[in-house]
Amino acid sequence: MTGRVALPLTLTLGEPAGIGPDVTLLAWARRREEALPPFHVVGDPEFLRRRARRLGLDTPIRAVDATESLAVFDEALPVVDLGRPVTGEPGHPSPGDAPAVVASIEAAVEEVRLGLAAAVVTNPIHKHALYAAGFAHPGHTEFLGDLAGRFAVPVDGGRWRPVMMLAGPDLRTVPITVHVALSRAVHELTTELIVETARIVDADLRARFGLARPRLVVAGLNPHAGEDGAMGLEEIEVMRPAIAALVAEGIDVRGPLPADTLFHARARASYDAALCPTHDQALIPVKTIAFDETVNVTLGLPFVRTSPDHGTALDIAGGGRAHPGSLMAALRMAAAMSGGR
């Protein structure tokens, strides 16, 4: 996908002690050679200046209003100042920075709602530091689902329900259960959840990725997709009824299929997205195949949101070892999704 937006993308601060600031600065430095869409950061300009000096980067950083960032982007990294100083040092998350991290996400979503930005791109957060400061959400995805309430209510009177998708050059995967323990995931995997997730994936692949009739597959939960009940009954009792209901609605979906043969090249050519019962079942293959090019996309929201597929990498933050590839891919995908909506 390619595209360039008339509005800038808004990029959140992320965990200050992690590599989010590093890859942000490195991405801006490569903006011309990588043909990146224009973006600005919502955060603390002085903090980013300190990180740039630590990395040995001569990066001009300019505090701007969101309406000014397009004019500034070519010559300086635009930063919309939150007015919340950030003090964290690389590798040492501080709960004291949590309010700025949360405010950056909220402000980015608000910019899109007000028509000041085309899409939200989020840097990785460190959940433990946020939890210590009272953050009540399991992760980014769930928090963004709550923030979607600022937008118009869905036409059918329902709710916005975020769905995580990992998208790489050759594979898209969706975890049906997300940030829960594996023991809980087995119990949370219901026919209704599978149907709701698949509907959202099908709709957004049509609307935002330009696929006229997305081809979906569903991975089995148990070894060999349960082997007709010999290794578990979830495929028979929970998953097959969901797939039958989706097929009856006209959605192109197959499964449940054995997960161990679903991700080789020949298999990947037969579908557009794989829905997987558990978090790691979805994330391991896509990250293994293209770690630096894979993007975390949130479907099911009234706005576009993408993110790098990696975490905060506290152990290498501030050391010049971070690679901006996934962030650059997230910026490109956000621009393409926004332009094609």
* pLDDT value for 156: 60
CATH code assigned to 163-300: 3.40.718.10
Q: Which residues contact 302 (CB under 8 A, 6 or more apart)?
A: 148, 151, 152, 160
Q: Which residue has the tokens 């956000």?
A: 334
**Would you say 328 and 293 are in contact if contact means Cβ atoms under 8 Å apart?**
no
d(CA 92, CA 305): 27
Which amino acid belongs to residue 50? Answer: R
The mean pLDDT of 241-248, rounded to a whole number, is 98
d(CA 32, CA 243): 45
CATH code assigned to 1-158+304-341: 3.40.718.10
**Res. 137 pLDDT band, cuts 50 70 90:** confident
**Res. 226 pLDDT band, cuts 50 70 90:** confident
How far is C-alpha 166 from the chain's CA centre?
Answer: 7
* pLDDT value for 1: 38
pLDDT higher than 50, residue 269: yes
Q: Which residues contact 57 (CB under 8 A, 6 or more apart)?
A: 25, 26, 29
Q: Which residues contact 153 (CB under 8 A, 6 or more apart)?
A: 159
pLDDT higher than 80, residue 104: yes
Model pLDDT for residues 8-54, shown as the tens digit of each residue: 999 999 999 999 999 999 999 999 999 999 999 999 999 999 999 99
Exposure string for 284-321, b = 16+ CB within 10 A, e = fewer: bbbbebbebbbbbbbbbbebbbbbbbbebbbebbbeee
The phi, psi pair for 142, rounded to 5°, reads: -70, -35
Would you say the CATH fold of 163-300 matches that of 1-158+304-341? Answer: yes
Listed in sequence order, the DSSP H helices in the chain are 20-29, 45-54, 69-72, 98-113, 127-132, 140-147, 182-188, 191-207, 234, 240-248, 265-268, 279-290, 325-339
**Would you say 143 and 103 are in contact if contact means Cβ atoms under 8 Å apart?**
no
**Would you say 165 and 273 are in contact if contact means Cβ atoms under 8 Å apart?**
yes
Domain ranges of the chain: 1-158+304-341, 163-300
Model pLDDT for residues 300-314, shown as the tens digit of each residue: 999 999 999 899 999
Q: Any idea what DSSP says for residue 113?
A: H
- For the ranges 51-55, 159-163, 297-301, which has the lowest average pLDDT? 159-163
- For the ranges 99-103, 194-198, 242-246, which has the lowest average pLDDT? 99-103
Model pLDDT for residues 177-190, shown as the tens digit of each residue: 998 899 999 999 99
What is the DSSP secondary-structure string of 138-153? SSHHHHHHHHGGGSPP
Among candidates 163, 271, 299, 286, which has minimal Cα distance to 213? 271
* pTM assigned to the model: 0.91
Q: Any idea what DSSP says for residue 252?
A: E
d(CA 40, CA 20): 14
Q: Is 56 exposed, middle or buried (0-12, 13-18, 19+ CB in 10 A)?
A: exposed
Structure tokens at 84: 């919340």
Which amino acid belongs to residue 46? Answer: E
